[in-house]
Each structure stands twice: as structure tokens, then as C-alpha cells.
Amino acid sequence: MSRHTNGLAIETAGLVKTFGETRAVDGVDLAVPAGTVYGVLGPNGAGKTTTVKMLATLLRPDGGEAHVFGLDVVREADEVRARVSLTGQYASVDEDLTGTENLVLLGRLLGHGKKAARVRSGQLLEAFGLTDAAGRQVKHYSGGMRRRIDIAASILSTPDLLFLDEPTTGLDPRSRNQVWDIVRAVVAQGTTVLLTTQYLDEADQLASRIAVIDHGRVIAEGTKGELKASVGAGSVHLRLRNAEQRPEAADVLRRTLDAQVQLEPDPVAVTARVGTATSGDAAEQAARALGELARAGITVDNFSLGQPSLDEVFLALTGHDTHTPKKDEVPA
Ligand SMILES: Nc1ncnc2c1ncn2[C@@H]1O[C@H](COP(=O)(O)OP(=O)(O)OP(=O)(O)O)[C@@H](O)[C@H]1O
Ligand SMILES: [Mg+2]
């Protein structure tokens, strides 16, 4: 690598993109270490796709700077394009062609010989569990198969940086897991992945670092642990012997922990947030709560103290949950 990159695959400073009145990306700073999965987490309309498109040279920024492997995405767009690949909310494969035809065609476009293109497409179709569907037109693929052929197409020649824009949105759990496995395999080969997602558990599963974006701004950035730690120490999850004791248990928890208590869909389950920075050690507080529950004659069958979920992180950072659109949001 000829450029000075500080080990970063992506570095942006004050990146801006406006569409009329909308500041879709409003001063984004990112530093994405090479060789990792970096998660960009945000709700609908947060600016994820717009950011990715600027980094992949498909959109020209209106302000700020972005470098990919030290290359300027505007002035050195061709060099950037040679090193990145993108899949996501836009088509790369042709619906009317079969799986094999698509991959062979794209391989030929990338300059592979006829035989090499066939061999590579066969390998990828097999690796992605699409061998049986190889001869079928892509328009007849299921959502999960479609997502997998999209990713297969984007790694025909191993890119240095792969953008995956919401690769699992709308997929069933099994297909999501298959895509996750593929992402892990791609990174194991040395490719850097920038993954956008609305799913907190997806970022949690795959990414080493996460930027949380909302309304075009990075509102938090760090490792998963750092993000969680910035929000609070954790949550106590309880399962009671008797569902009838739950209202009383919730009262005890509210009193002893001075915390938000949530009644779970499961009628014997209760969750309480504990240990904000000022209120002392989370384990100590949880122990005190258990003591109080026992004194009140409430039988606890199961108890765990966990780090907060990324959902809780988002709520704490933004004051709204990930699924509540803001009133000024234009539907995407
Ligand atoms: N071409 C465009 N013209 C006008 N407004 C746009 C355009 N593209 C995006 N926007 C607006 O910019 C904002 C950010 O959109 P963007 O697609 O980047 O969000 P996103 O985080 O990818 O959302 P989603 O999760 O729904 O894909 C939104 O308010 C959107 O309506
Ligand atoms: Mg998007």
C-alpha cells in the first residue's frame, strides 16, 4: 500500500450530503480499521445508504473529505472503485439471468477468462448454497437466495473493501444466519467490511466497532463494550416462580433499584436496568434487590445480570427507540 493510511480502510472528516433541504449526511467522521467488520447502525432515513454511496464513489459529497485506503473518493474515484465492491439496496445482478449466467457474466466483465469465470462462479454458488438454484432465473429466487447471490456477485474478485448495505433486512432468521456466516468468511479472507444495519443484534454479532448514526450524524462510536458501558452497567433479568407475584416483584425492584422496570411478554419475566454511573456497582445493587425479593416472599427461579442490549443503548443515546420515526423524517 503506497499511501499513509494509519491502518485505516476508511477515513472521513466532516462528510456532508444534502438533498434540497434535507441534510442526509450532516458532518460524519469515521475511522474504519482495515481487516475488520465496521457496523454503521441507524434507523430508517439516518443517512446510512447516502454515506455508503459517497464512500463507494456513487455520490459526490457536498462537504468534508473521505479517503478509502488513503485514496480521495472524489479526486481518485477510479482508484477507489478498483478496490471496493458494494451490495445492498440496489441491484447488481440481472433478474432475467440465471445464477450461473450472472456470475459468469460479471466475472467476464472483471476480466476473468471464460473457464476461470465458470470455475469461480461454480465455487461461489456452492459456497453460498445456491448450486441447486444455479440454473434458475434470479427473479424466481427467494429473498434470502437473492441476498446471497448479490453478495456472491460482489466478491467475485476479492475486494479490499466490501460495502454491505442492510444485507439482511427482511430476511428470515435462517437466511440471516447464512448471510452472517458469509460475512465472517469474507472478513477471514482479509476483506474489510462496512456493514450498515438497523438491527442491533446484527451489529453486535458481526462488527468489532460500531458507529451509531441518527439524522445524518454520528451520535456514538466505539467498540460494542464501550458503547454499552457509556449507557449504564446493565440489566437484571428475573424469572419468577409465580406469575401472580410479578406486580409485587416489579414494585420491589422499582423501590430498591430506583430503576426502570420492564414487564416482558413472558408472564413470569421482569427486566430492570441497574447501575448508572452514579448509583454504584451493578452487581451489588442486583444482590440487594434479590435480598428484598426474598424478604417479600417472592420466589425467583432464574436470575441474570447482563450488559445492556444495543436497543437500550440506542434508546439512551437518542431518547427514542430505533423503530419510532421522528416527525420530520421523510419516508425513504
Ligand atoms: N436521492 C435523494 N433525494 C432526496 N432525498 C434523499 C435522497 N436519498 C436520500 N434522501 C433522504 O436522505 C435521508 C437519508 O437517507 P438514506 O437513504 O441515506 O437513509 P438510510 O439510513 O439508508 O435509511 P434506510 O434504513 O431506510 O435505508 C432521508 O431523509 C432520505 O429521505
Ligand atoms: Mg438505506
For ligand 2, the distance from its centroid to the CA atom of residue 154, given in whole angstroms, is 18
3-state secondary structure of 317: helix
Topology, domain 8-228: Rossmann fold (3.40.50)
- The helix or strand, by DSSP H or E, that contains position 250, with its residue range, turns out to be helix 246-257
Which residue has a Cα nearest atom 28 of ligand 1?
45
Q: How far is the CA of 198 from the centre of ligand 1 (A)?
A: 14
Which atom of ligand 1 is nearest to 20's Cα?
Answer: 4
> Do residues 236 and 302 touch, judged by C-beta distance below 8 A?
no
Pocket test for ligand 1, best of 25, 49, 195 (most atoms within 8 A of CB): 49
- For residue 65, the model assigns a pLDDT of 97
Which residues, chain by chain, have CB under 5 Å from ion ligand 2?
48-49
Q: The cell 500500500 sits on which residue?
A: 1
Give the number of the atom of ligand 1 that is nearest the alpha carbon of residue 52.
18
Amino acid at 86: L
- DSSP secondary structure code for residue 309 in this structure: P
Share of the chain above pLDDT 70, in %: 90
Q: Model confidence over 136-155: pLDDT tens digits?
A: 999 999 988 998 898 888 88
DSSP code string of 69-104 = TTEETTTTHHHHHTTEEEESSS--S-TTSBHHHHHH
CB-based contact 159:130 (threshold 8 Å): no
**Residues 6 or more apart in contact with residue 219 via CB below 8 angstroms:** 212, 213, 317, 318
Ligand nearest to the CA of 212: 1
Q: What is the pLDDT of residue 262?
A: 85
Instruction: Identify whether the C-beta of residue 36 lies closer than 8 Å to the C-beta of residue 187.
Output: yes
pLDDT number for residue 332: 44
- Report domain extents, the chain: 8-228, 233-307
State how far Cα 136 lies from the chain centre. Answer: 30
**Superfamily of chain region 233-307:** Reverse transcriptase/Diguanylate cyclase domain (3.30.70.270)
Residues in contact with ligand 1 (CB, 6 Å cut-off): 19, 22, 24, 42, 44-50, 89, 198, 330, 332
Do domains 8-228 and 233-307 share one topology? The answer is: no
Q: Which of 21, 23, 48, 328 to mutate to test the pocket of ligand 1 (most atoms within 8 A of CB)?
A: 48
Low-confidence ranges of the chain (pLDDT < 70): 1-3, 88-91, 231-233, 275-280, 308-310, 320-332
